[in-house]
Structure formats: structure tokens, C-alpha cells
């Protein structure tokens, strides 16, 4: 009973996104929402009832949706284009490249239910490629908030930033980790716990698992640094270099393929600026089997206990004992 009553409350970050968008919509008549028949799954019902003329539902037509977003921005509006991340980035990637990133259109792309949030629906509905696809595009910050507080702060920031943004949100419940007054700073990692044995870096639904892994390690006398790195592009070079300098090894985890995501972005910095042992956890370059997001994260070695074990193996490599 005690364990249950002590369990942190879990939040669906879509709620924080929707509440923030509604507030922005009330403050600024230029804020519009664009979606692909995804009013419900993007939690745009409240926005629609308050601002019916500013909810643009193009139907099941993602290429058109992204192009329309670019055109709305050209006309002086501030569009938030919301759709399941797998379709927003996969189906309309060329529109994201040419109409949004290359044109530098002031459009906020909001990928809902990213990663393996649609776990049991299978790999067609998983979005474990989107970091890789979007972070190679110039002009486009790529951001995966770790909790409802950071989600609200990132949406707030995106509305003030003059340029495109890709926000990668999940529907999988996560506990609040950041202080209530957190201000989002693009490209800046958040130090959640300090230590000198190893640095654990994650974003999105993985950050809270890293915090728990660090608690397990602490129980064994191993102090790990934990960084929440919501911004995948531009990557926080300074935090990565400092992590190597102070702790000598980096372990990353993400609800994404191990190819081309957060771990890869960090490895690019490590190789160029501060070579050190690294371990990248994620979906190991395969189409995932059937299962919920939580089940699959555990399956791929990202339970807090498994992360702690991987961290110990990495620490051993660091000291040449592995």
C-alpha cells in the first residue's frame, strides 16, 4: 500500500501541450492548430471549441497538412501542426524538408504519440526514426520534453521562437521531474543529479527511467550524473564535453532506434571533442515486436535495473577492466 501511495503521479504530456496551446490561443489570435483528422489524438478538442475558426483540419492528408502549415505561416499566422509523429515525419518528410526547414517557415511541428507509444499497433505506427530524419535538417530544432512541465515550457518557447521547431511528444505517462517554474532553454541540458562515475543522458519518456537507474546505482555506492537532454538539435556540446571530463563515460537511452538519434548526436560530439567509452541504448535497429511502449522499453534493456547494469559495465570499460 505504501509503495502505491508513494508512486509519483504520471502525466500524459499531451494534456500540458493542449492546455498551453489553448492559453497561447487566447493570448494571440494568430495561433492556429493544423491537424490530419487528429483532433482527438492531438487533444485539440478544447482548442477547437474555443477557437473553431483557427482549427484547420485537412483530413487524412499529411503532405497537404505540412504544406498548408507553411502557407499559413507565410500569411502571418503562427501554426502548430499536430499529428501522430510517425505520419508527420515519415509521410511528409519532404514537405518538412523543403516547405518548413529549407524555407525556414515559422511552423511548429508537433509529433504526438512518438516513439513506441502506439506499441501494440506495430512498427507502422511507431516513430522511432524521427530524430534521425529531422535532426539532419538545417534550421529545425528537435525537442523531446521529459515531463509535463518541460512540455508546457517548450511549447511556450516554441511560440516565441521565430522559425520552425519539431516537438516530439508522447502519450505514455511520465512523472514530473523538473521544477514547476522551469524555463525551457533550447540546446541546454538539465542536470537532474550529479555524480562522477558515469553520465546517464536521456530525453522524453526515458529521462525518469535514468533517474531511477541512478538511484539504484547510488544504492550500490556509485554516483551517476543524470542529464535530461530534450534538445537533440542543436546538441548541447558543452554538457557532453563536461560529462566526459567529469565522469569519463556516457550512457544514453532513448525511445528511438539506436541509429541516428540522441545517442548518435552525442557520439558525434564525443568522437570529435572528447573521446570516451559510450553505450547507446534504444531500439537496436529492428522493427519492434508486439507489446506496449513500457514493455518494449524493458524488452530492449531500458528498465532502470537494466540501465544500471549497463552503466556498471560501461564504468568497467572506462577503467579498462571490462
Partner 1 sequence: MQPNDLERIARQIRLRDVQAVYEAGAGHIGGEMSAIDILTALYFRVLRIWPDQPKHPDRDRFVLSKGHVALALYITLAKRGFLPEEEISTFLKPHSRLNGHPNCNKVPGVETNTGPLGHGLPVAVGMAKAAKILSADYHTYVLTGDGEMQEGSNWEAISSAAQFGLNNLTLIIDHNRFQQGASLKETNDLAPFSSKLTSFGWDVTEINGNAMAEIVPALEKRGDRPHCIVAHTNKGHGISFMQDRADWHHRVPNAEQYKIAIAELSEAQS
Question: Among residues 15, 41, 90, 103, which is the contact residue for partner 1, using CB under 8 A?
Answer: 103
Smallest gap, in angstroms, from Cβ of residue 318 to partner 1? Answer: 45
In the 3-class helix/strand/coil scheme, how is 255-299 assigned residue by residue?
A: EEECCCCHHHHHHHHHHHHCCCCEEEEEECCCCCCCCCHHHHHHH
Q: Does 98 bind partner 1 (CB under 8 A)?
A: yes
Applying CB under 8 A, the span of 3-11, 41-49, 76-84, 214-222 interacting with partner 1 comes to 76-84
Q: Does 53 bind partner 1 (CB under 8 A)?
A: yes
Applying CB under 8 A, the span of 82-90, 93-101, 172-180, 239-247 interacting with partner 1 comes to 93-101
Q: Does 69 bind partner 1 (CB under 8 A)?
A: yes
Question: Among residues 13, 18, 58, 229, which is the contact residue for partner 1, using CB under 8 A?
Answer: 58
Q: For residue 266, what are the contacts with CB-CB under 8 A and spacing of at least 6? A: 201, 229, 235, 240, 250, 252, 278
Residue placing its CB nearer to partner 1 in the complex, 75 or 289: 75
Q: Does 76 bind partner 1 (CB under 8 A)?
A: yes
Residue placing its CB nearer to partner 1 in the complex, 73 or 265: 73
Q: Does 297 bind partner 1 (CB under 8 A)?
A: no
* Annotated catalytic residue within 62, 150, 254, 255: 62
Q: Does 70 bind partner 1 (CB under 8 A)?
A: yes
Q: Does 204 bind partner 1 (CB under 8 A)?
A: no
Closest by CA to 99, choosing from 59, 137, 136, 45, is 137
225 DSSP 8-state letter? E
Whether the bond into 106 is cis, omega within 30 of 0: no
Q: What nine digits make up the cell of 163? A: 522559425
β-pair partners for 227:
191, 201
- Helix, strand, coil % over all residues of the chain, rounded to 5: 45, 20, 35
**218 vs 94: CA distance, rounded Å:** 46
Query: Active-site residue 309, yes or no?
Result: no
**282 vs 189: CA distance, rounded Å:** 19
Active-site residues, by number, are 62
Chain residues binding partner 1 by CB under 8 A are 32, 53-54, 56, 58-59, 61, 63-77, 79, 94-95, 98-99, 102-105
Amino acid at each position: 500500500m505504501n509503495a502505491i501511495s508513494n508512486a509519483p503521479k504520471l502525466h500524459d504530456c499531451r494534456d500540458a501541450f493542449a492546455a498551453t496551446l489553448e492559453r497561447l490561443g487566447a493570448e494571440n489570435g494568430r495561433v492556429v492548430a493544423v491537424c490530419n483528422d487528429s483532433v482527438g489524438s492531438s487533444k485539440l478538442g478544447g482548442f477547437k471549441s474555443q477557437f473553431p475558426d483557427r482549427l484547420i483540419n485537412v483530413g487524412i492528408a499529411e503532405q497537404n497538412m505540412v504544406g498548408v502549415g507553411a502557407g499559413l505561416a507565410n500569411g502571418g499566422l503562427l501554426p502548430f501542426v499536430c499529428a501522430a509523429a510517425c505520419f508527420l515525419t515519415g509521410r511528409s518528410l519532404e514537405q518538412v524538408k523543403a516547405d518548413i526547414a529549407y524555407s525556414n517557415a515559422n511552423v511548429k511541428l508537433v509529433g504526438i504519440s512518438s516513439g513506441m507509444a502506439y506499441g501494440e499497433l506495430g512498427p507502422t505506427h511507431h516513430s522511432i526514426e524521427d530524430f534521425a530524419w529531422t535532426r539532419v535538417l538545417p534550421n529545425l530544432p528537435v525537442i523531446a520534453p521529459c515531463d509535463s512541465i518541460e512540455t508546457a515550457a517548450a511549447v511556450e518557447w516554441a511560440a516565441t521562437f521565430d522559425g520552425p521547431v519539431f516537438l516530439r511528444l508522447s502519450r505514455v505517462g511520465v512523472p514530473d521531474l523538473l521544477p514547476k517554474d522551469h524555463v525551457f532553454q533550447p540546446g541546454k541540458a538539465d542536470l537532474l543529479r550529479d555524480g562522477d562515475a558515469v553520465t546517464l543522458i536521456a530525453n522524453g519518456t526515458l529521462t525518469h527511467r535514468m533517474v531511477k537507474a541512478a538511484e539504484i546505482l547510488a544504492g550500490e555506492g556509485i554516483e551517476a550524473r543524470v542529464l535530461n537532454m530534450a534538445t537533440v538539435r542543436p546538441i548541447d556540446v558543452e554538457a557532453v564535453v563536461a560529462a566526459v571530463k567529469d565522469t569519463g563515460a556516457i550512457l544514453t537511452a532513448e525511445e528511438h532506434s539506436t541509429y541516428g538519434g540522441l545517442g548518435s548526436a552525442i557520439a558525434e560530439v564525443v568522437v570529435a571533442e572528447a573521446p570516451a567509452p559510450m553505450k547507446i541504448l534504444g531500439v537496436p535497429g529492428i522493427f519492434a515486436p508486439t507489446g506496449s511502449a513500457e514493455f518494449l522499453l524493458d524488452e530492449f534493456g531500458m528498465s532502470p535495473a537494466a540501465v544500471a547494469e549497463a552503466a556498471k559495465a560501461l564504468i568497467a570499460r572506462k577503467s579498462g577492466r571490462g
